[in-house]
Chain A
Amino acid sequence: MKSHFLTALTTHLMTPVVSDAPALFALIDQDRAHLARWMPRTASIQSVADEAAFLLKSRERIAANQFWLAVIWVGTHPAGTVDLHSFKDGHAEVGYWLGRDFQGRGIMPHVLGIVEDVAFNQLGLNKVELVIATDNTRSQAVAIRRKFHQDAILREHLLTAAGTYDDAIVYSKLKHDGHGRR
């Protein structure tokens, strides 16, 4: 998959289905150590069945309007997921991860642009937030590429798999901030 033409492949977002579980599990399992650093949920995904259960639970929460989740497809391959969670008072938080071979290719800024469009124009949100550990510079680059505004640094806010706490930068984008898809 790691080839120069990867970014030329169409990136699109699809509603999660249980049959995505094997491909998503393989991506998580392949990059477990790195993903677990920023995504504590990684530790609870030890089998395809765990990921399938997560996707099923996600579909229930999406149906209840508590959650929004899409599978990121690059060409014909699932590449990761992106979600909106913690809906409250006209805002929600974005979460995302990409498999190792799909990182560093500009896929995530493109995906985030699509998610902003969903949040503001389909879900009627006024603001989307990104809460990113201060050491997660790769994820911060995505926020900066999409012209998110740095609002705050929350001290010792994110619980890590190791039981310690990471400081977190809160980024925001408002519906009226503008900045189109690209």
Chain B
Amino acid sequence: MTTYSVSPYIQLKSPQLSDAPALFACIAADRPYLSQWLPWAATTRTVADETAFLKYCQQRIASHQLWLTVIWVAGRPAGMIDLHDFKDHHAAVGYWLNHTLRGQGITTKCLATVETIGFNTLKLHSLNLLAEPENHASRAVAEHRGFHQDGLLRAHIPTVQGDYRDAVIYSKINREFTP
């Protein structure tokens, strides 16, 4: 298992099926908020659902279609951060964090580590990041890390209600990266 150290109390670790109960507890405790932005939060109803998702992630990681780690804070699984949609030497960043831990710059620190991996290890040319216009927490992470706002993709992200929301698209190019 690979572990990346973000700070003395934050690590990024490759996903294990044994992470499912702790991750499910985070999702269950924060379902209404997470579901606003992440439709899968509404459909993850049991620990078994989360286990199945982790299995799927492990398969996608093994076939190099996904890079994903579990965010560990103070010794517990607390969220996830990933790179997906690899194409033409770019990829998209995704993340979520347990609500009790938000607002402390944890995701911003994790993103800095993921940028290092994306640019230096995976040799990507650029990273993209999508966030709904009203998702201020997610946008703050992108903006703290100096991502550039490239535009607004209309009706880009499906909602639990079956309609679509716009997405702000951000980017960072490898030469703009400083750890």
A: residues with CB less than 8 A from B are 89-91, 126-127, 129, 149-159, 165, 170, 172, 174
Distance, CA A141 to CA B148, complexed state (A)? 27
- Nearest residue (CB) in A for B126 is A156
Contact (Cβ within 8 A) A90 B158: yes
| CB<8 Å pairs between A and B, sample of 19 | A89-B157, A89-B164, A90-B155, A126-B164, A127-B155, A127-B164, A151-B153, A151-B154, A152-B150, A152-B153, A152-B169, A153-B150, A154-B128, A155-B171, A156-B126, A157-B171, A158-B88, A170-B169, A172-B154
- Nearest residue (CB) in B for A150 is B151
Please name 8 further chain A to chain B contacts, defined as beta carbons within 8 Å, in addition to the given A154-B171, A155-B148, A156-B126, sorted by A numbering.
A90-B155, A90-B158, A127-B154, A127-B156, A129-B153, A152-B153, A154-B151, A155-B126
Give the top 7 A-B pairs by smallest Cβ distance, nearest first: A152-B151, A159-B88, A152-B150, A89-B158, A151-B153, A172-B154, A151-B151
How many A-B residue pairs have C-beta atoms within 8 angstroms? Tell me.
62
Distance, CA A151 to CA B166, complexed state (A)? 10
- Nearest residue (CB) in A for B163 is A126
Distance, CA A158 to CA B171, complexed state (A)? 13
Given contacts A89-B156, A89-B157, A126-B164, contact A155 B151 (CB under 8 A): no
Contact (Cβ within 8 A) A170 B151: yes
B37 → chain A closest CB, angstroms? 13
**B126 / chain A contacts, CB cutoff of 8 Å:** 155-157, 165
Contact (Cβ within 8 A) B169 A156: no
Residue total for B at the interface (Cβ-Cβ under 8 A): 20
Contact (Cβ within 8 A) A155 B150: yes
B53 → chain A closest CB, angstroms? 17
Contact (Cβ within 8 A) B88 A157: yes
B89 at the interface (CB under 8 A from A): yes
B32 → chain A closest CB, angstroms? 21
B31 at the interface (CB under 8 A from A): no
Given contacts A90-B164, A153-B150, A154-B171, contact A172 B155 (CB under 8 A): yes
What 0/1 readout, one digit per residue, does chain B (58-86) give for beta carbons within 8 Å of chain A? 00000000000000000000000000000
- Nearest residue (CB) in A for B157 is A89
Contact (Cβ within 8 A) A156 B155: no
Distance, CA A151 to CA B151, complexed state (A)? 6
Distance, CA A152 to CA B148, complexed state (A)? 12
**A174 / chain B contacts, CB cutoff of 8 Å:** 154-155
